[in-house]
């Protein structure tokens, strides 16, 4: 059965006339009659006693009227809940690439909480590829992800490019000052990196292949702050887009190292589900906030030095 059939039934019951109901609905008398007949056929009952004037409901019709009004009220409530004036409420499921947790969960998160107090924000950190798959499957509403040079975001999902950032080879202040360093020499010392699946690690492996070497990884961890602290202690060299680390104070204790053979870059994207409804306003705000958060650091010459 269809809502227009139910709506017509209620209109006839209230007007007690097919002709008057048609006038109120802007339908012809024959169109009203057909809609009532379809509803009666679907329900398998007779709704009106057609021998009376004005029209009266049968016992089944009287029972059906109470249900029909509840259905129409529920439909109205559903429409009102998603009206343009309604503020987004409920759960926002937001994914973040591991290295972007500090950036995303800083001022951008604070802005979302202030602008949309009815939202509960659930954060999930993972690699970029699984995050995009979770957005596609509906497990996440959106995600902030990293893609390497030459990679494109999925063409079946809405994506917004937030910017491209250089990835620096980093070392402790003392080790950086002891340079210049060749890629082979850095590999002998060792690397502090995220586990396999990290896009920086893939770029490092590609740069070492012509040298007949594989990455000499001494310590690995998912936690970017932990990796930075280990690099700062001199455990090994690392790879990081320093300008994306937000206000992480550990980043002040490391220095970029010039590595002509290893200068990867990453592009930051905001990927959203195909249909997000009222969350469109949330993702628009998140996009603006992340773009603004990334922009001010662009003038820092120290963080550019390893990529120029």
Does residue 175 contact residue 294 with C-beta atoms inside 8 Å?
no
Q: In the prediction, which pLDDT does 79 show?
A: 66
Cβ atoms within 10 Å, residue 122: 12
> Domain segments of the chain: what residues?
3-81, 90-166+266-304, 168-263
Go through the chain and tell me how many residues it has: 308
pLDDT of residue 307: 33
Identify the pLDDT of residue 303.
Answer: 38
CATH topology of domain 168-263: D-Maltodextrin-Binding Protein; domain 2 (3.40.190)
Closest to 176 (Cα-Cα) out of 187, 190, 186: 186
Report d(CA 40, CA 13) in Å as an integer.
Answer: 14
| C-alpha–C-alpha distance, residues 298 and 308, integer Å | 13
Q: Do domains 3-81 and 168-263 have the same CATH topology?
A: no
pLDDT the model gives residue 228: 87
What pLDDT is stored for residue 276 in this prediction?
Answer: 77
Beta strand 254-257 with 265-272 is: unpaired
Please give the pLDDT value at position 225. 79
Burial degree of 190 (CB within 10 A; 0-12, 13-18, 19+): middle
Question: Which residues contact residue 177 at a Cβ distance below 8 angstroms, ignoring those fewer than 6 apart?
Answer: 255
What residues pair up with 170 in beta bridges, in sequence order? 238, 256
> Is it true that domain 3-81 has CATH number 1.10.10.10?
yes
The matching CATH number, chosen from 3.40.190.10, 1.10.490.10, 3.30.465.10, 3.30.450.70, for 90-166+266-304 is 3.40.190.10
What is the pLDDT at residue 308? 31
Task: Per residue of the chain (308 residues), give pLDDT as tens.
Answer: 788 999 999 999 999 999 999 988 888 999 999 999 999 999 999 999 989 889 999 999 999 998 998 898 887 766 655 555 567 778 899 999 988 888 888 889 999 999 999 889 999 998 888 999 999 888 899 999 988 777 788 888 899 999 888 888 999 999 999 989 999 999 999 999 988 877 788 889 989 999 999 999 999 988 877 888 899 999 999 998 877 765 556 667 888 898 888 888 888 999 998 877 778 889 999 999 998 887 754 444 333 333 33
Single pTM value for the model: 0.62
């Amino acid at each position: 059965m269809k809502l227009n059939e139910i709506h017509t039934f209620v209109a006839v019951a209230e007007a007690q006339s097919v002709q008057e109901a048609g006038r109120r609905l802007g339908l012809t008398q024959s169109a009203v009659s057909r809609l009532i007949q379809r509803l009666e056929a679907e329900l398998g009952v007779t709704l009106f006693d057609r021998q009376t004037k004005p029209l009266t409901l049968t016992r089944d019709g009287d029972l059906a009227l109470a249900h029909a009004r509840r259905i129409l009220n529920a439909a109205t409530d559903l429409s009102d809940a998603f009206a343009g004036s309604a503020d987004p409420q409920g759960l926002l499921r937001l994914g973040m690439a591991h290295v972007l947790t500090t950036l995303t969960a800083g001022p951008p998160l604070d802005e979302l909480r202030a602008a949309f107090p009815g939202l509960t924000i659930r954060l999930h950190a993972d690699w970029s590829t699984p995050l995009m798959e979770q957005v596609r499957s509906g497990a996440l509403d959106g995600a902030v992800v990293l893609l390497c040079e030459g990679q494109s975001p999925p063409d079946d999902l809405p994506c917004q490019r937030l910017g491209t950032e250089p990835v620096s080879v980093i070392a402790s202040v003392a080790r950086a000052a002891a340079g210049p360093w060749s890629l082979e020499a850095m590999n002998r010392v060792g690397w502090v990196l995220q586990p396999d699946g990290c896009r920086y690690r893939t770029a490092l492996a590609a740069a070492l292949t012509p040298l007949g070497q594989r990455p000499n990884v001494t310590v690995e961890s998912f936690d970017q702050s932990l990796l930075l602290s280990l690099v700062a202690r001199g455990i090994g060299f690392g790879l990081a887009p320093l300008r994306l680390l937000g206000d992480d104070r550990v980043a002040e204790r490391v220095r970029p190292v010039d590595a002509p053979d290893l200068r990867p870059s990453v592009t930051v994207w905001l990927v959203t589900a195909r249909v997000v409804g009222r969350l469109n306003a949330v993702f628009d705000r998140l996009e603006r906030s992340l773009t603004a958060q990334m922009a001010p650091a662009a003038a820092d010459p120290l963080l550019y030095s390893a990529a120029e």
